[in-house]
Amino acid sequence: MALTATIFKAELQISDMDRNYYGEHQLTLARHPSETDERMMVRLLAFALNADDHLSFTTGMGVDDQPDLWQKSLTDEIELWIDVGLPEEKRVRKACNRAQKVFLYLYGARAAEPWWQKNEGKLKRFNNLSVIQIPDATCSEMSSLVQRNMQLQCTVQDGEIYLSAGEQTFTVTLQIRKLAE
């Protein structure tokens, strides 16, 4: 018998003063049986940092022609492609050719460091690509917030990111590997 996805609900309030974006989102996240809490929370953070009324989660893991999140125009063009994890260089190249902007959110320092060293030279040529690494300590803090029904607040101001749930608040640290030009 096949395992099914676990459904999580998140009420996410975003105050992004750097982008002048303020919104509240009622999100449903389907966590694939092989997905960890860390990965799911990195997807949620990626949503918060790129929030837009047209940004949405896709069918997710294991689908070659879809990212973890994307934003499409009214004419079905891919404006933003967001992948979480350590994709193959071929997948990144395909994403950069299909979308106006591409974000990769890396996590898991033990595997992310060698991945970056192997792919850095190949990825430099993509002007529409940003690569951001989430440190292990930040991933651990975020995964401590996981509940089936979550109420989260994300505040971004002057490059500082704060994530909170109830009484628990912490600073989200990002390591910028590459920014789109």
pTM of the model as a whole: 0.94
Q: Hey, what amino acid is at 47?
A: F
**Residue 77 — φ and ψ, nearest 5°?**
-80, 145
Output the pLDDT for position 61: 62
Does the pLDDT at position 92 exceed 90? yes
Query: pLDDT tens digit string along 109-137?
Result: 899 999 999 999 999 999 999 999 999 99
Output the pLDDT for position 109: 87
Domain that holds residue 166: 6-178
Output the pLDDT for position 34: 86
Determine the Cα–Cα distance for residues 48 and 153; give it in Å rounded to an integer. 9
Q: What is the largest CA-CA distance in the chain?
A: 49
Q: Is residue 1 part of a domain?
A: no
Quick one: tokens of 31? 């966590």
Tell me what the pLDDT averaged over the chain comes to: 93
Q: Hey, what amino acid is at 101?
A: K
Counting the structural domains of the chain, the total is 1
Output the pLDDT for position 33: 86
Quick one: tokens of 69? 């999140």
Determine the Cα–Cα distance for residues 168 and 164; give it in Å rounded to an integer. 5
Question: What's 105's domain CATH number?
Answer: 3.10.640.10
Query: pLDDT tens digit string along 10-53?
Result: 999 999 999 999 999 999 998 888 899 999 999 999 999 999 99
